[in-house]
Amino acid sequence: MFHKEGYFIIITTFLICASIVLCAEYFIGHKIAKIILQIGALVALVLVLQFFRNPHRNTVLNEKHLLAPVDGKVVIIEEVYEKEYFKDQRIQVSIFMSPINVHVTRYPMSGKVIFSKYHPGKYLVAWHPKSSELNERTTIVLENEQFGEILYRQIAGAVARRIVNYAKVGDAAVQGEDAGFIKFGSRVDLFLPLGTSVNLIMDQVVRGGETIIAEK
């Protein structure tokens, strides 16, 4: 299954790759050059298909758990000052997604969307310390009775050029459901209340909608 954000790109890539394969077959006489060109086109198509895949996840709804919003590797777990919305100390958990990860963003908990804002910005590499403040990004705040307010931030990377955010103020968020997409490499930061029990270690690989990142 593929994500709806990839339909146009997948169809376009398929048509271009099919044209390259056919043109190489009929217009390139050198056998090795033809094979290299055709294989290259097929590899490009496979890469696009794998990037926009949207696999089913076995999300177990639990109001006492926060789930990973994306697939990737944990690169930050630390107490920081969050200055955009909370303006106080929070626990930051950051998950880095490489181009080969699934890039669907999922709601980490059920609740209500109380804040959603898009910020234009730069395209620093996603692991850069300032990417959370300077890169193109969206900031979303969810609220429920168990955790209060939590913030997650979709951040574009050096390759990513479009962030898709479905969360709108007033929406009812359902844990594990599709909340957006980040195209071609990126990172997601979460800012949790102090005292939240984080069940992660640095460099841990997580799966969006399944891995428990914190609990009450």
Number of H helices, E strands in the chain: 3, 14
Of 154, 153, 159, 162, nearest in space to 123 by CA: 159
What are the pLDDT digits (tens) for 166-197?
999 999 999 999 999 987 668 899 999 999 99
Q: Average pLDDT for residues 131-146, to the nearest whole number?
A: 86
Which top CATH class is 65-215? mainly beta
The structure's pTM equals 0.85
What are the pLDDT digits (tens) for 51-83?
888 888 999 999 999 999 999 999 999 999 999
**Taking the domains of the chain in order of start, what are their residue ranges?**
4-51, 65-215
State the pLDDT confidence band at 130, using cuts at 50, 70 and 90: low
- In the chain, DSSP assigns E strands to 65-67, 72-82, 88-97, 104-106, 111-119, 137-144, 148-156, 162-165, 172-173, 178-183, 186-192, 197-198, 205-206, 212-215
123 has pLDDT over 80: no
Q: Which two tokens stand for residue 175?
A: 């844990």
Q: Average pLDDT for residues 86-108, to the nearest whole number?
A: 93
16 has pLDDT over 90: yes
Annotated active-site residue 132? The verdict is no
Out of 94, 131, 132, 186, pick the active-site residue.
186
